[in-house]
Amino acid sequence: MTLSIPDLVSVRARHPEAIAEAADRRRRRPLLGDSGRLMIVAADHPARGALGVGGRPLAMADRRDLLERLCVALSRPGVDGVLATADILEDLLLLGVLDDKVVMGSMNRGGLAGAAFELDDRFTGHRAEDIARLRFDAGKLLLRIDYADPGSLTTLESTARAIDAMAERRLPLFVEPFVSHRIDGRVHNDLSAEAVTKSIAIASGLGGTSAYTWLKLPVTEDPDAMGEVLETSTLPTVLLGGEVGEDQEGAYERWRKALRLPTVLGMVVGRSLLHPADGNVENAVDTAVGLL
């Protein structure tokens, strides 16, 4: 990094307009490059209060450490860009590491992890107009649907309006859908083939047009079912990385198989690359890029 944390604080305090100026100067690139594939590093977890990695509940709470890991990841060959909330993207803009990168703004972070209102996931992050104003390249939203929770209806409706607003500006929007339910008060995402199929069908039909909608999907519990599941939609798809746990090689193999499917054009991976089990961010990122 070229700036220290005190430098970032000083710029924010004395020259907040520097963020907009850095956004205006940023060199942009097409969403898909010559390879036709997309590798995005995700760091939008903290704004939902999801700071834990493995057995460390506050692993992503140290902003210096997170920015250092992101800068390492973004410097690796084959990494196309980053997905994050406004505060993190603005730090990266000030650090000057977003030239020629795809920049994706995270739009709904209202469903705080563990909250009673978690599934009423309102749009408290980037709006479509913010993404356009800052010359970012795409947006992302989380759509968790619990048939037993009325809060999911609010999220569904606001998701549809966000799709409309992004399409009006001809900006891609990556929709991450799940069928979810609570177990002992905690929200769990159903990764069965049937549940993921339903989530794709629901998400694909939201809004007045799907022209700018992408899907961001997990690999199903049974990886062999993924091909049939993805027959549900013609929308371009990226895989959700998620945490890989101790079986990192097994996770890589599941991703490798899914990446061969015709609608899958890349991956959006967060904690498993920024906080790999062996601590080596470079190796984790290079291995994930190699899967593409």
pLDDT per residue as tens digits for the range 110-119 = 999 999 999 9
Estimate the crossing angle of helix 17-25 against helix 86-95, to 10 degrees. Answer: 70
Among 35-44, 225-234, 273-282, whose mean pLDDT is lowest? 273-282
Q: How many domains does the chain have?
A: 1
Give the Cα separation of 243 and 275 in Å (integer).
9
Range of the domain at 195: 5-291
pLDDT per residue as tens digits for the range 195-211 = 999 999 999 999 999 99
CA atoms within a 13 Å half-sphere pointing along the CA-CB vector of 219? 23
With b for 16 or more beta-carbon neighbours within 10 A and e for fewer, the 4-15 pattern comes to: eeeebeebeeee
CATH number of 109's domain: 3.20.20.70
pLDDT per residue as tens digits for the range 85-127 = 999 999 999 999 999 999 999 999 999 999 999 999 999 999 9
